[in-house]
Chains A and B, each alone.
Chain A
Amino acid sequence: MRIVKQTSLYVVLTALSLVLFFPMLYAFSASFMSAQEVLLGHFLPSTLHFENYLQAFQDVPLFRFLINSIFISLVVTFGVLAVSSMAAYAFVFLDFKGRKLLFVLFISTMMIPWEASMIPNFVTVQQLGWINRYAGLTIPFFASAFGTFLLRQYFKTIPKEMQEAAQIAGIGHFRFFMNVVLPVSKTSLVTLGIYTFLTTWNAYLWPLLTTTDELVRPLQIGLRQLQSQETVNEWGVVMAAVMVVAVPTLIVLFIGQKHLQKGLTDGALK
């Protein structure tokens, strides 16, 4: 009975995996096909056409876009970690007037959809001269209510005795924050880091508005550019570019999946 149940579970799981992952497998396979094979509707390439990848890198500055995406995502990730952890520290370890009120204010920003501030933000960034600059793609995203909330939840589990001990030893707040709080919160920081990296990498509307040339344009908008300038027959090249866009985040997700799941669930439920 047990074996029957297990086997059927495996069959169901495998079938579902195939269905769900099919679009990516299909795209991966097509990225090696010649234009003709794609049009004939083959599912597997007869020979591996690596030149699709070369072509994709030649048609648009895909390498530049890749570097831009990596740079922007890393800067936002570290920006969010720094800014949110500082705010979370204040909320947990420092006593100040209006703490509760300010926390409510922070949380309330989670209810404001990003689109609500999109138009004036565009004007602000334009006036700051940040169109086609990395600054416009990174700095507006440094403050994160979600990040502050997630880290605050974790910081609260750090025993108060540690803070008292640090005070007795004459260790100032900044050293306590840097040398004690941050190192013990490594897991939450990693979770928030992975989450921020993925969301920044995948951002679409804001980079579309603020990058009008190729200098700082990230991969997502580069893919849009490639897709719109390719002729109908070049699906192999477009799918090769898709692979370049999707594989880095898939790797990040595969490595960080356990972290992310735990962190996000805790953040959602506590």
Chain B
Amino acid sequence: MAMERAQVERTGGLPATVAREKLFRRILGRQPAAWLYLMPSLILFAVFVFYPLFKTIYLSFFLSDMKGLPTVFIGLDNYVRLFSSPEFIQSAGSTLLFVLYTVPATIIIALILALLANEKLKGIGFFRTIFSSSMGISVAASSVVWLFIFNPSAGILNRILSLFGLRGINWLADPNWALFSVSLTTIWLHLGFTFLILLGGLQNIDEHLYESANIEGAGYFYQLRRITLPMLSPTLFFVITVSMIDAFQTFGQIDLLTKGGPGNSTNLIVYSIYQKAFINFDFGSASSAVVVLFFCILLVTALQFKFGERKVHYQ
């Protein structure tokens, strides 16, 4: 501000200049410098987020050629075909089942870990580090490790089964087990992050609440139900939303563990989009699936805002 005023004075403050300055400010606001600070973000968002979003919607109304370029406008035909294709219905069904397998289990296990790791003990930092460790392990690395664990002959899981005299399971090649196996990998992979967020939420709860409850002689589970869970609910809600969105977006595990098989049983939606777009180069049909995915995720986020907002305290 001071600088700008000094500048006006230096330029002589001619009436014309002042008028132009005023006009300038009316358009850009009092501190036009703001746009310089925002410019990099705005350009990048425009090029890599907003333009492609609209382009995807546009592409979904077209047939595309071998290079993926749009050719003939076909209106909603891509959508009609999508919803009448058994593969897509199966893919959507598998994705929903996958969400159901992974989200509740991840959150319940992470919550138990967080409650345990929130106790004040010597060396608790070590356990916290171990519990959060999967956050530092990439999708690719953990999928390859689990590929080894699931291996029918060399893998440890079937070794353990054989110790009990049970027959080995073809974890990733059996259509009845594949989705379960991928879910197991995913739960393990997401535990670290979910644990870390929930632990943070627990640590933010006011100590005094527990002190007064202790004076009144309330037991552990009573406190858990009446203090901890209600106070943790905004964090829980956030974690549920993030986990659901993560589950919708699953890709790496599928690519490395099953490639969508056996018999399409693990062909989750993002993997099917990848196949449509980058293996068959059918951008039009892939775009329509992307738009469907987009609205599913939007719905989850909107629910988070509608129900989560009320309980969250914004600064």
Contact = CB atoms under 8 A, between A and B. Distances in A.
A100 to B, nearest CB: 12
A85 B147 CA distance: 40
Interface stretch (B9-17, B73-81, B94-102, B124-132): B124-132
A21 B134 CA distance: 8
Contacts of B251: 204-205
B29 A96 contact: yes
A205 B128 contact: no
A140 to B, nearest CB: 5
A114 B48 CA distance: 10
A112 B40 CA distance: 19
Nearest to A220: B140
Contact of B140 (A106, A114, A224): A224
Given A39-B154, A239-B145, A168 B2 contact: yes
Given A12-B116, A156-B315, A269-B312, A113 B249 contact: yes
A236 to B, nearest CB: 10
B41 A265 contact: no
A89 B37 contact: yes
B141 A115 contact: no
Contact of B45 (A109, A170, A242): A109
Chain B interface: which size bin?
A: 35 or more
B284 to A, nearest CB: 10
A102 B37 CA distance: 13
Interface of A: 6, 9-10, 12-13, 16-17, 20-21, 23-24, 26-27, 30, 38-39, 41, 43, 82-84, 86-87, 89-90, 94-99, 102, 105-106, 109, 111-124, 139-140, 142-143, 145, 148, 153, 156, 167-168, 170, 172-173, 177, 198, 201-202, 204-205, 208-209, 219-221, 223-224, 227, 235, 238-239, 241-242, 245-246, 249-250, 252-254, 257, 260-262, 264-265, 268-270
A120 B141 contact: no
Given A143-B44, A227-B144, A235-B148, A23 B188 contact: yes
Interface of B: 1-3, 27-35, 37-38, 40-41, 44-45, 47-53, 55-56, 59, 68, 113, 116-117, 119, 121, 124, 127-142, 144-149, 151, 153-154, 156, 159, 188, 191, 196-197, 199-201, 203-204, 234-235, 238, 245, 248-249, 251-252, 255-256, 270, 273-274, 277-278, 283, 286-287, 290-291, 293-294, 297-298, 301, 312-315
Contacts of A177: 37
29 contacts: A16-B113, A21-B133, A26-B156, A27-B145, A90-B35, A95-B29, A95-B31, A96-B32, A96-B34, A109-B49, A113-B293, A115-B270, A119-B290, A120-B55, A121-B52, A124-B47, A143-B40, A145-B45, A204-B252, A205-B270, A209-B278, A220-B141, A223-B141, A235-B151, A261-B196, A262-B200, A265-B203, A268-B197, A270-B314
A26 B149 contact: yes
Contacts of A84: 41
Given A95-B29, A246-B138, A249-B138, A83 B41 contact: yes
Contact of B49 (A21, A117, A202, A270): A117
